[in-house]
Amino acid sequence: MAEKVRRVELAISLVLRIGVVVSVAVIAAGLGLMFAHHGAYLPIRGHFSYKELTSKATPFPHSFASLGHSIAQGDGRGIVVLGVLILILTPILRVAVGVVSFLYEKDPPMAIVTLYVLIVLVGSFFLAGV
């Protein structure tokens, strides 16, 4: 029993760690590109205010079509958003790994519980119209 739980724990911990490392690497690369492409962002005492990037009118990708377009152009913004999406998908992936692990460890009640959570999560993305 304890050993079964241990194997599920290690699998889930591994998924979380991979998700975290990959998303940080992608976000850092995107941020680097943003500053490399826009010299005005860099000076510590420049005239360019960050507020131009955090106002309501600031353009940034918020659909899969615009995200794909932005990444294809090598735009840092799109790459950062991709990294954030990897971060958002990490908990969902760890639920999926939970389902598989509980099935593999022959624990049907917990596998059903985890499967329900996975269905609700995936459903929520479709309901949002992603």
Task: Provide the binding-site residues for other proteins, judged by CB under 8 A.
Answer: 1, 5-6, 8-10, 12-13, 16-17, 19-20, 23-24, 27-28, 30-31, 34-35, 38, 41-46, 48-51, 53-56, 58, 60, 62-63, 76-77, 80-81, 83-85, 87-92, 95, 98, 109-110, 113-114, 116-117, 120-121, 123-125, 127-130
Residue 41 is given by DSSP the state G
Query: Please, which residue, 63 or 104, has the CB nearer to other proteins?
Result: 63
Alpha-carbon separation of residue 76 from 18, 34, 123, 128, 130 (angstroms): 22, 4, 30, 26, 22
**Residue 10 token pair:** 């290690």
Query: What does the alpha-carbon distance between residue 104 and residue 1 come to, in Å, rounded to a whole number?
Result: 13
Query: Please, which residue, 74 or 123, has the CB nearer to other proteins?
Result: 123
Angle, nearest 10°, between helix axes 2-37 and 76-104? 170
Give, for 5, the enclosing helix (H) or strand (E): helix 2-37
Query: Please, which residue, 68 or 120, has the CB nearer to other proteins?
Result: 120
**Taking the complex as a whole, how short is the minimal distance between the CB of residue 106 and other proteins, in angstroms?**
13
**Taking the complex as a whole, how short is the minimal distance between the CB of residue 12 and other proteins, in angstroms?**
5
